[in-house]
Amino acid sequence: GLHITPFSIPHDAIDPVGFTIECESGNKLGVVTDIGSVTSLVKERLKGSNILLLEYNHDEEILQYSHYPWDLKQRIKGRLGHLSNTQGSELLDELCHGGLKHVILGHLSQVNNKPEVAFQSASKVLKRNGAQSEIGISVAPRKTIGEVVQI
């Protein structure tokens, strides 16, 4: 069976949650998207995950120069908005451990991010941790089913 554990995350919505899903085998999937900032609860719940689906919503520079109005840019960057590539990578850096096998980069903005930019950000973290050959990275597609990841 599966054990699904929701936990609160900061976002400007009513009762937003992230999830961990654990199998009887002990494998664990951690999921956080639509999250504005990383709390100690988020880190605690995601710790020990074998697969992570993390928000990599925007690149700070692309957002800065986008056509979005100033107030929307501030909402996106705010602690109740969305994680940037840098913030997603900082979280990945904290969760990078021997049991982590794959990270999926999710909820990328179509306007304020590029898959290759997000991928490069996560790749740097894995390289810095000496884990680039042990941990896979994929970018979740916006409108289609992503690749199947096995652990």
Q: What are the tens digits of pLDDT across the range 63-75?
A: 999 999 999 999 9
pLDDT digits (tens, 9 = 90+) for 113-150: 999 999 999 999 999 998 888 999 999 998 999 989 98
Confidence of residue 97 (pLDDT cuts 50, 70, 90): confident
Residue with tokens 């654990």: 22
pLDDT of residue 42: 98
| Res 150: pLDDT | 84
The pLDDT value recorded for residue 132 is 85
Model-level pTM greater than 0.85? yes
The dihedral built from the CA positions of residue 130, 133, 136 and 137, taken in this order, carries a sign that is positive
Q: What is the pLDDT of residue 135?
A: 94
Query: Per-residue pLDDT averaged across 99-125, rounded?
Result: 98
Check whether 8 has a pLDDT greater than 90: yes
pLDDT score recorded for residue 133: 87
Q: Could you write out the three-class secondary structure of the chain?
A: CEEEEEEECCCCCCCCEEEEEEECCCCEEEEECCCCCCCHHHHHHHCCCCEEEEECCECHHHHHCCCCCHHHHHHHHCCCCCCEHHHHHHHHHHHCCCCCCEEEEECCCCCCCCHHHHHHHHHHHHHHCCCCCCCEEEECCCCCCCCCCCC
pLDDT of residue 15: 96
Domains along the chain with CATH numbers:
2-139 (3.60.15.10)
Rounded distance, CA 37 to CA 34, Å? Answer: 10
